[in-house]
Amino acid sequence: MRNLWLRNPSLAYAAWQNQERASEAARGFAPQSIIQHRAMLDRFHRHLVSHGVTVANFSGKHIEAFWLQSEATSYAAETRTRYLQLLSRLCRYLVEIGLRDDNPAADLMSDAGWSGQGNPPLYLPEDVDLRLQDFVMADGGGDAATLRVRAVVGLFLGTGITAAEGRAAALHDLHPAGDAPHLVAGTGRGRPARTIPLEAFAVDALGAWKARRQTLPIGGDLLFATRASGKPITDMSLGNIVREAFDRIGYEAADMSPRILRNTYCRRALLAGMPRDRVSELLGLSSHHTCDRIMATIRPRRNGSAVTDARDGDDGHATDSACTML
């Protein structure tokens, strides 16, 4: 079956759907939906073939590039969401059978991009961003659990990577020492690796965690791994760690996950005047959709500097003040 996914994804997908329909536990889809899903996958697969990749190794960049095709540029947000839902289900299954290591569609669904609801992206108010940076920089002593919390928050708030990239990050990808501390992200995920400078506030926390991680009895070389097996930390565990950091600074947001830290990183960079091309590049995106949505929360002052939309800070949006890239 795995070989069939590589040779003829359309036939493999049809067989998988029939298998799912036969399952008593399956919810099932209406016949018309099944036809639509197969047509959608065929359309997306033709796009993959044109880019020289397969269902086993396409990345989020290939999904982003799909929206730029002449036919797809007219897709409504709801249509894009349906594609992402289909691809996310597909990738989850391919991960289960060992044909993929990741689910880039889930990354995009949880990103600022395609909620399909028209909701503005969530990000931290600038004063909360600074409080969280102070937490990352605080002396946590020698406790490994505290070092890990500070490092996890520092990684996402200080690089803007996705949760999946954080789960896949290896010790050799992190370079906190030297004149240009940085993280190499995107390796082994079907996309070109990119070098992301570490924000200054995150350098010491990440350096301390890397040093401690190398002394812990955990297998493999992942930066964050489960203690028992050395396998990647789960998305649930990452979410719990981020929520713990919010608890420690006494803040509650509508979304307390790596996603809101990524959006906050993006917005901080845009507020600092970084070109959206460069911000999108650092985020690993091939389109400017995410940057444009977050840029829409920023309005110019009369003197040309940036000011945020005035919103209630408790809803996860920034208040009326400017910030700089730290």
Q: Per-residue pLDDT tens for 8-66? A: 999 999 888 887 665 544 455 667 778 888 999 999 999 999 999 999 999 888 998 89
Question: What is the model's pLDDT at position 198?
Answer: 97
State the Cα–Cα distance between residues 170 and 191, nearest whole angstrom.
16
Q: In what order do the strands lie in the sheet with 194-197?
A: 174-175, 182-185, 194-197
Tell which wins on pLDDT, 103 or 272: 272
Q: Per-residue pLDDT tens for 146-158? A: 999 999 999 999 9
Which DSSP helix (H) or strand (E) runs through 174?
Answer: strand 174-175
- Alpha-carbon Rg for the chain in angstroms: 21
Please tell me if the domain spanning 2-110 has the same topology as the one spanning 126-315: no
Give the residue extent of every domain in the chain.
2-110, 126-315
Q: Which of 79, 94, 93 is nearest to 40 (CA)?
A: 79
- CATH superfamily placement of domain 126-315: Intergrase catalytic core (1.10.443.10)
State the Cα–Cα distance between residues 262 and 196, nearest whole angstrom.
13
Give the residue ranges of DSSP H helices in 142-298: 144-159, 163-168, 200-213, 235-249, 258-271, 276-283, 289-295
The class that CATH gives domain 2-110 is: mainly alpha
Tell me the whole-structure pTM to 2 decimals. 0.65
Q: Per-residue pLDDT tens for 165-178? A: 898 899 999 999 99
At residue 306 the predicted structure's pLDDT band, cuts being 50, 70 and 90, is low
State the Cα–Cα distance between residues 145 and 106, nearest whole angstrom.
28
DSSP letter at 122 equals P
State the Cα–Cα distance between residues 264 and 285, nearest whole angstrom.
16
DSSP string, 226-250: -TTT-PBPPHHHHHHHHHHHHHHHT
State the Cα–Cα distance between residues 285 and 270, nearest whole angstrom.
15
